[in-house]
Amino acid sequence: MNVDSIRDGIVIDHISAGSAMKLYHLLGLDSLDVPVAMIINAVSAKRGRKDIIKIDADIPVDLDVIGYVDPGATVNIIREGRLQEKKQIGMPETLVNVLRCKNPRCISSCEQELDQIFRLSDRASKEYRCVWCETRAADL
Amino acid sequence: MNQRSIIDVPDLSPDEINSLMDTAEDIISHPDAYADACHRKKLATLFFEPSTRTRLSFEAAMYELGGNVISVTDALSSSAAKGESVADTVKTVSCYADIIAMRHPKEGAAAVAARNASVPVINAGDGGHCHPTQTLADLLTIRREKGRLNNLTIGLCGDLKFGRTVHSLINAMSRYDGLKFVLVSPEELKLPSYVKNEALKSRNVAYEQTTDLMEVIGSLDILYMTRVQRERFFNEEDYLRLRDSYILTPEKLKHAREDLSVMHPLPRVNEISVAVDEDPRACYFKQVLNGKYMRMALMLMLLGLKRKEDC
3-state secondary structure of A63: helix
Report yes or no on B191 lying in a domain: yes
Same domain flag for B249 and B299: no
Residues in chain B: 311
A18: domain CATH number? 3.30.70.140
Reported as a single tens digit per residue, the pLDDT across A119-137 is 998 888 888 999 999 898 8
Report yes or no on A1 lying in a domain: no
Nearest partner of B94 among B65, B75, B122, B120, judged by Cα? B120
Average pLDDT, chain A: 90
Same domain flag for A113 and A52: no
Q: Give the residues across from A117 on adjacent strands.
A: A96
Residue among B86, B87, B108 whose CB faces A133 most closely: B108
Cβ–Cβ under 8 Å, residues B224 and B253: no
- Count of alpha carbons within 13 angstroms of residue B264, beta-carbon side: 24
Same domain flag for B141 and B233: yes
Alpha helices in B217-283 (DSSP H): 236-242, 250-253
Same domain flag for B215 and B122: no
B154: domain CATH number? 3.40.50.1370
Cβ–Cβ under 8 Å, residues B126 and B132: no
Q: Do A111 and B107 touch (CB under 8 A)?
A: no
Instruction: Give all strands (DSSP E) within chain B, no chain letters.
Output: 42-47, 68-72, 99-104, 121-126, 153-157, 180-184, 206-210, 222-225, 261-263
* Confidence band for B1, pLDDT divided at 50, 70 and 90: very low
Q: Do B108 and A130 touch (CB under 8 A)?
A: yes
- Count of alpha carbons within 13 angstroms of residue B60, beta-carbon side: 13
Same domain flag for B114 and B179: no
Same domain flag for B125 and B194: no
The fraction of chain B above a pLDDT of 90, given in percent, is 75
- Count of alpha carbons within 13 angstroms of residue A89, beta-carbon side: 23
A98: domain CATH number? 2.30.30.20
Reported as a single tens digit per residue, the pLDDT across A23-65 is 999 999 999 899 999 999 999 888 899 999 999 998 999 999 9
Same domain flag for A103 and A77: no
B311-B23-B152 Cα angle (round to 5): 140
Split into its structural domains, chain B has a count of 2
Same domain flag for B149 and B252: yes
Which chain A positions have a beta carbon within 8 Å of B105's beta carbon?
105
| Residue A109 forms contact with B (CB below 8 Å) | yes
ipTM for this prediction: 0.84
Report yes or no on B181 lying in a domain: yes
Residue ranges making up the domain that contains B149:
133-288
Report yes or no on B138 lying in a domain: yes
Same domain flag for A64 and A103: no
Report yes or no on B172 lying in a domain: yes
Same domain flag for A108 and A124: yes
In chain B, how many H helices and how many E strands?
Answer: 11, 9
Reported as a single tens digit per residue, the pLDDT across B23-73 is 999 999 999 999 999 999 999 999 998 888 999 999 999 999 999 999 987
Q: Are strands B42-47 and A127-130 parallel, antiparallel or unpaired?
A: unpaired
Complete DSSP assignment for B248-264: B-HHHHTTS-TT-EEE-
What is the strand order of the sheet A94-96 is part of?
A94-96, A117-122, A127-130
Which chain A positions have a beta carbon within 8 Å of B106's beta carbon?
105-107, 109-111, 133
Residue ranges making up the domain that contains A33:
9-88
The fraction of chain B above a pLDDT of 70, given in percent, is 95
Same domain flag for B125 and B137: no
CB atoms within 10 A of CB A76: 18
Split into its structural domains, chain A has a count of 2
What is the rounded distance in angstroms from the CA atom of residue B54 to the CA atom of residue B17? 19
Same domain flag for B242 and B296: no
Long-range contacts of B205-209 (CB under 8 A, 24+ apart): B205/B174, B205/B179, B205/B180, B205/B181, B206/B179, B206/B180, B206/B181, B207/B180, B207/B181, B207/B182, B207/B183, B208/B180, B208/B181, B208/B182, B208/B183, B209/B183, B209/B184, B209/B185
Reported as a single tens digit per residue, the pLDDT across B67-119 is 999 998 776 667 777 778 999 999 999 999 999 999 999 999 999 999 999 99
